[in-house]
A and B are shown apart, each in its own frame.
Chain A
C-alpha cells in the first residue's frame, strides 16, 4: 500500500534516519522527481527558506572571521593603553570606552572572541569524536560492552558540570599560576570534553540502536558485508544528522562555559583576552564604565545564541514533523 503517495513521503522526511511504518495513505504530494536531489540537498532547500538560519549563519561567520583575523575589525592594539585614559566612557577613539588600564574595550572584545571560538570548537570536536566513537561501539556491539561503557558514561554524566570543571582546572591550572595561553586553552577544552562526552555518546548510541535494526543493515549483512563496512557505510552516515544538530548547539554552550571558567579565574587569565575575564574585571567598575561589562557580555550572548539558533534550524530542517 504505498505506491503513489510515496516519493512523497520520502521527500517529507529526507535526511532523517528511516524506519517506522508509513501510513497507508500519505496525502502529501510528490516533489519534483525530475531532477536528482540528494538527502542533504533537501535539507538545504528547507534551511534556505528559514530567516533564522541565515541570521545565525551570518553571525557565526562574523564571529569566526573575528576569531581568525581580529585585525580586520580594529586597527587598535588591544594591549596598548595609557593609564591617563583609564575608565573613560565611549568616545570617538574608543567606541566602547576604556578599561582600568586605559585599553580600548572594543578592541579587547574583538580579540576576546578568539579564545571562546578556539576553545569551544576544539572541545566540541573532541566531545563529538570521543562520544560518537564510544557511542557507535556501545550501540553496535551491544551486550556487556554496551553495559560497561554506558555505566562509565553514567558516572561522568553524574558529575556536576561546574564542580567537575572547577576540580580539574584548580588542580592543573590553580589560580596564581601562569601557564601559557595555549596550555590553558587546551586544559579548558579537555576538561569540557571529559565532562560532556557522555551526552554525545548517548545520542550516538541511541541513533545507532535505531539504525542497527533497519532493514538495509540486514540487507547488507545478507550480502556478506563485514561489520566494519556496515558501520562505516550504513550505520554512521545515517546517524550523523542528530550529532550535527547536537554539536552545533554544543559549540554555543561551550562558549558560555569557557567564559564562565575564565570569569571564575580557573580558565584563561589576564593578560590573555577573553570575554569571561573582561566580565570579571569589569564588574567592580560597572558604575564607571558600564560598557566594559555590557559589550563582552552582549558578544557572548550573541555568539551562544547564534550557535543554538543554527542548531535549532538544522534540527527543524531535518525533522519533517516540525515543518
Chain B
C-alpha cells in the first residue's frame, strides 16, 4: 500500500485518461485554518488532488466539507485573515503557487486557472455592461485595442451560445436571465483561454432545464479546449453526468477518490455509501431513505481518529483512535477508511 498523502498522486495508472502527462494542477497535502474569536477551525486537513488536461475532476461534498475553500485557496481569493494556509503546496505546471509572488499569481489567475462561481449575479459588476467587463480583460491582460477587445468579447459570448451576442454585449448583467448570466460568467472566465477551469457549484442556483443546458455547455467547452476542469458540487446526479474522476470530501479531507463508474458501482467509503443511499431517485419510487445519522462535525472540534466515526454504521474501536490515511485500494482508486479494502473487494 502506498500512502497517497506522501507520494505524488500521479502513480501510473491512477489517472482516468490523458495519458502519462504531468498533471496541470496538483494540490498536495493542503491545510487551511480559520482563526476566529471562537477558536481555530480546521477547514482543510491534508487535501491532495490533481487534474490533467482534458479531464474533469468532480469534488463532491456537503457544505462545510472544505470543497469550496480548497478552490478559493487555489485561486488565491481566500480571505486572509481569518483564513491561513497552514501547510501543503499547490503546484501549477510543477511550480508551487503558494511560494510565488503576488504578481506571478495574478498572472496565472485568468490565463492559467479561471473560476466560475455559483451566483453569477453577484459575481458580475452591475454597473458595467457585460461586453465592457469581458473586453476589459483583453485590454488589460492582452493589451488589445478597444475595438478589437469588443470584437473578441462578442466572439466569446458567441462561443457560450448567447443568441444575438452582438446586441447583448451592450447590456447589463441584470438584463440577462439566470441561465444567460451564468453563460456570461463562463464566457468571462474563458476569455483568457485558461488551462484549468474551476466551476464552483455552477448550476446550483439554476432550474433543472437550464442546469442541463449549462452542464452541456461546460462539458463541451472542456472537451473542445482540452481544459482540466474541477467541478465542485454537492449533487451526485450532476457528477454522474459529467465527471471522469471524483474526490469525495468530508470534514476537510478527501475520504475517497475513484473514477466515476467505480465510485457509483462500488463505493469504498461508508460516507460515500451513505450519500448515495440518502438521495431520492427519480427513476424509482423508494421506500424510506437510508440516511446518515447525526450531523457533520464542528470544524473546531473534529472528532478523534476518523472524523466520520460518530456517524459511521461500521465504526469500530480503531476508528475512534486512528486517522485512516487515504490509501490506494485499487489501480485507480483510493479510500480513507480502515475497512476500505474489505469494502471494495466485497463489492
The answer to whether A and B touch directly, with their CB atoms under 8 angstroms apart, is: yes
Residues of A within 8 A of B (CB): 1-8, 11, 24-33, 46, 49, 323
Residue B144 at the A interface, CB < 8 A?
Answer: no
* A29 and B300 contact, CB distance less than 8 A: yes
- The 8 A CB mask of B166-206 against A (1 = contact, 0 = none) is 00000000000000000000000000000000000100100
In the complex, which of the residues A6, A30, A49 contacts B300, with contact meaning CB atoms closer than 8 Å?
A30
Give the total of B residues in contact with A, Cβ under 8 Å: 27
Q: How far is the CA of A32 from the CA of B300 in the complex (A)?
A: 9
With the chains together, A7 CA to B295 CA distance in Å?
Answer: 11
- The answer to whether B295 and A24 have CB atoms under 8 Å apart is no
Partner of B67, one of A7, A25, A26: A25
Inter-subunit contact B38/A24 (CB<8 Å): no
Q: How far is the CA of A46 from the CA of B299 in the complex (A)?
A: 21
Closest CB in chain B relative to A278 CB, distance in Å: 44
Contacts of B67 in A (CB 8 A): 25
Asked, given contacts A27-B69, A28-B82, A29-B298, whether A3 binds B38 with beta carbons under 8 Å apart, the answer is no
The smallest C-beta distance from A35 to any residue of chain B, in angstroms, reads: 13
- Chain B binding surface SS class: loop
**In the assembled complex, which residues on chain A have CB atoms less than 8 Å from the CB atom of B204?**
1, 24
**In the bound complex, do residue A3 and residue B39 qualify as a contact, i.e. CB atoms below 8 Å apart?**
no
Closest chain B residue to A323, Cβ basis: B37
Q: Does B118 contact A (CB under 8 A)?
A: yes
Residues of B within 8 A of A (CB): 34, 36-39, 41, 43, 62-69, 82-83, 118, 201, 204, 234, 295-300
> How far is A230 from B269 in the complex, measured between Cα atoms in Å?
49
Q: Does B38 contact A25, Cβ atoms closer than 8 Å? A: no
B63 near A1 with CB under 8 A, answer yes
Contact of B41 with A27 in the complex, beta carbons under 8 Å = yes
What's the minimum C-beta distance from A256 to chain B, rounded to whole angstroms? 34
What is the distance, in angstroms, from B301's C-beta to the closest C-beta of chain A? 9
The answer to whether B34 touches A3, judged by C-beta atoms less than 8 angstroms apart, is no
Q: How far is the CB of A26 from chain B (nearest CB, A)?
A: 8
Among B34, B36, B43, B63, contact of A24 (Cβ-Cβ < 8 Å): B63
Contact B298 A2 (CB under 8 A): no
A231–B320 alpha-carbon span in the complex (Å): 50
Q: Is the CB of B64 within 8 A of A25?
A: yes
Q: A323 to B66, alpha carbons, bound, how many Å? A: 22
Q: Is the beta-carbon distance between A3 and B296 smaller than 8 angstroms?
A: yes
Minimum C-beta distance from B42 to chain A (A): 8
The residue from B36, B201, B297 contacting A4, defined by CB atoms under 8 A apart: B297
Q: How far is the CA of A31 from the CA of B201 in the complex (A)?
A: 27
Q: How far is the CB of A11 from chain B (nearest CB, A)?
A: 7
Of the candidates B37, B69, B201, B299, the one whose C-beta lies within 8 Å of that of A30 is B299
Q: Please, which residues of chain B bring their CB within 8 A of the CB of A46?
A: 37
Question: Who on chain A is nearest to B118 by CB?
Answer: A24
5 CB contacts below 8 A, A to B, read: A4-B298, A24-B201, A26-B63, A28-B36, A30-B300
**A4-B296, A24-B68, A24-B118 given; A29·B41 CB < 8 A:** yes
Please give me the residue from chain B that is nearest to A7 by CB atom: B298
CB pair A5 B38 closer than 8 Å: no
By the criterion CB–CB under 8 Å, are B68 and A29 in contact?
A: no
A30 to chain B: which residues have CB within 8 Å?
Answer: 38, 298-300
Do B36 and A29 touch across chains, with their CB atoms under 8 A apart? yes
Q: In whole Å, how far is B207's beta carbon from the nearest beta carbon of chain A? A: 16
Q: Judge whether A33 and B64 touch: CB under 8 Å.
A: no
